[in-house]
Amino acid sequence: MLNTDTLINYYFKQISNIPRGSFNEKGISDYLVQFAKEKKLKYIQDKLNNVIIFKDASAGYENHAPLMLQGHMDMVAEKELDSSHDFTCDPLELIVEGNVLHANRTTLGADDGCGLCYMLAILADDTLKHPPLECVFTVQEEVGLFGAFGLDMTVIKSKRMIGLDSGNEGTTCTTSSGGNDTILTKEIHREARDGKAYLVRVDGLLGGHSGGCIAMGRGNANILLARILYECLLEGIDLQVISINGGLKDNAICRSSEAKIICSSNLLISTIQRMEKEIKEELYESDRDVFVEMKEIEKEACMTKKDTEDILSLLYSVPNGCLEMSQSIPDLPVLSLNLGILKTLEDKVILHFSIRSPLSSRRNTLSNKLICIGKAYGATGVCESDYPGWNYDPDSKMRNLLKTYFKETTGKDLIEMATHGGLETGIFKGKIKELDIVTLGPDMDDIHTPQERLYLDSYERVYKQLIGFIETL
């Protein structure tokens, strides 16, 4: 059980009882409003369910400049295939193992539950010393930063901000990537045919955040499954696809994907077994538990032969993963895409990509290339939800203050990091040009996957660093 004696743990337990997947934030938004009412704090709740809670300065800080704290209330709702968890209504089942907090076969929501709990604890604790606070809780960050886009920032007086949607203790983020969603749609037609029906599934992959993990070489189940089926076609195996589905979130590297097919060739099983061996060898370092399984199922109407070839050719042709690395910042991707969702409906197949780059021109070019490839196979494409990156500010006073504070209190140098992930910082900076931003966050691993873990000692240390730093402002 999570020890809820401390405020940050108490509030983590509280918010974990409230379903808060993206687009399902009404419950957590209302919880924040009720919290503000109980604490007699001024608040704003907008039509998107964004919430801003204001707290007056503590004694002696009345003339200090206001400070904005910010995090997002939604989480990526991912689970293991055999989990019965319902993200629309079930609370998260929290599990503590030593120093590690995780959930039972689902994402934990530490991204960005940690930021929410830090703000709630600060707002609830009247013993802390701080300037006037403006705590901003946004919605729909994980699906396109829609909450930040729609937030009315004219009510914000702060010109300095601590972003709490961050990870890695001892670091502060200095720049982030922009991104967009590119969606390809291919209409299909169905027919009956002879042969046996099979389910082919690629699973056992690690997945991960499509920003933070995209350069790690991890396999994407959608891409791997399409490769297997397309290479079956190259072997002359006459198969037709009933459906092909994988992934729930465009910003999570797909861990599991499955296709229903009809085939009458005796070579199918041996070819898939050979492909599984190849893939396991290729991904031994990054995804050594990957596997391909196959079983016979009931037959259904399948896509026509032409549609099958078009869909598999399209999936085989599209790029995926990290495409370019920065020439100036070590180990930083600057262009990537992730086929996070592959979905088959009765009359169409949908491919949903997340594209990331700090440069809008590179994002737009890659999006256009995807649409061009799709057109060659009869698919239409659209680019949605383009959001800006956050550019490096060489004159940040907040960053210099944080570096000094961190050095004085820990004896260590604060590490400045750039991220390929998308953050709301770019949107806030665009709305308030003078906004000076730093970020803080604890150590966590495998966010956006059911293996997500939060390290409790780091979670507590970073909170102490946060309130200590705020006291100096």
Compute the chain's Rg from CA coordinates.
24
Instruction: Assign 3-class secondary structure to the chain.
Output: CCCCCCHHHHHHHHHHCCCCECCCCHHHHHHHHHHHHHCCCCEEECCCCCEEEEECCCCCCCCCCCEEEEEECCECCCECCCCCCCCCCCCCCEEEECCEEEECCECCCHHHHHHHHHHHHHHHCCCCCCCCEEEEEECCCCCCCHHHHHCCHHHCCCCEEEECCCCCCCEEEEEEEEEEEEEEEEECCEECCCCEEEEEEEECCCCEECCCCHHHCCCCHHHHHHHHHHHHHHCCCCEEEEEEEECCCCCEECCCEEEEEEECCCCHHHHHHHHHHHHHHHCCCCCCCCEEEEEEECCCCEECHHHHHHHHHHHHHCCCEEEEECCCCCCCEEEEEEEEEEEECCCEEEEEEEEEECCHHHHHHHHHHHHHHHHHCCEEEEEEEEECCECCCCCCHHHHHHHHHHHHHHCCCCEEEEEEEECCHHHHHHHCCCCEEEECCCCEECCCCCCCEEEHHHHHHHHHHHHHHHHCC
The verdict on whether 74 is a catalytic residue reads: yes
Token code pair at residue 51: 């919430």
Catalytically annotated residue among 25, 74, 169, 446: 74
Catalytically annotated residue among 25, 141, 258, 452: 141
The CA distance from 82 to 85, in Å, is 9
Pairing outcome for strands 239-246 and 257-263: antiparallel
The verdict on whether 331 is a catalytic residue reads: no
- Laid out side by side, the sheet with 436-439 consists of 43-45, 51-55, 133-138, 67-72, 160-163, 436-439
Q: Is the dihedral of CA 297, 300, 306, 307 positive or negative?
A: negative
Question: Catalytic residues, which ones?
Answer: 74, 141
